[in-house]
Amino acid sequence: MFKIGITGSIGTGKTTIAKAFTMLKLPLFDADYEVKNLLNEKKIINKIKKVWPDTVEYNSINKKKLKKYIFLKDLERTKLENIIHPALNIKKTFFNKKNKKKLLVVYDIPLIYETKSQKLYDLIILANCSEKNQKERVLRRDKIDEKLFKKIKNSQFSFKKKNGI
């Protein structure tokens, strides 16, 4: 199984690249999609509620509130990663077992370098675009303000740093 990892900062086109691979009928593990699903699981909601009680309303996570917490301080983001990443790794392991006989598989994972997991992939595609396009895309898509965009962007490795690894 040849593993292709797609990574890059927020709003740089990872999903567009991943969709091109799915058009070729290649199996895709989409980390963002899986995290969105995990954030709807009762077990995860309860863990998040223990750490940030005001982010859970009517047994659902207010993602805007949660984003503000996790991008204010690295420690808060690490707390969330400690809740999400073990569950995400279980989903990824299941995906790998399900697709172990496939010749090529694709992983859309924004934090490959940040999690030091680049050695798990045979090829890594690093998505990039102009900062102007990135900002416009994220502000429109995620409906966040520029301040939060900058905090999210700054929490990820820069293109230059990722490209040098």
Domains and CATH numbers, the chain: 2-13+34-164 (3.40.50.300)
Q: Find the mean pLDDT for residues 71-90.
A: 90
Residue 143 DSSP SS3? coil
pLDDT tens-digit map of 15-68: 999 999 999 999 999 999 999 999 999 999 999 999 999 999 998 999 888 988
Neighbours of 25 (CB within 10 A): 8
Q: Using the predicted structure, report yes or no on whether residue 129 has a pLDDT greater than 80.
A: yes
109-128: b (≥16 Cβ within 10 Å) or e: bbbbbeeebeeebeebbbbb
* pTM for this model (two decimals): 0.88
Write the burial class of residue 11 (CB in 10 Å: 0-12 exposed, 13-18 middle, 19+ buried).
Answer: buried
Residue with tokens 């999400």: 84
SS3 category, 119: helix
pLDDT score at 155: 80
With left for phi above 0 and alpha for psi between -120 and 50, is residue 8 left, alpha or beta? left
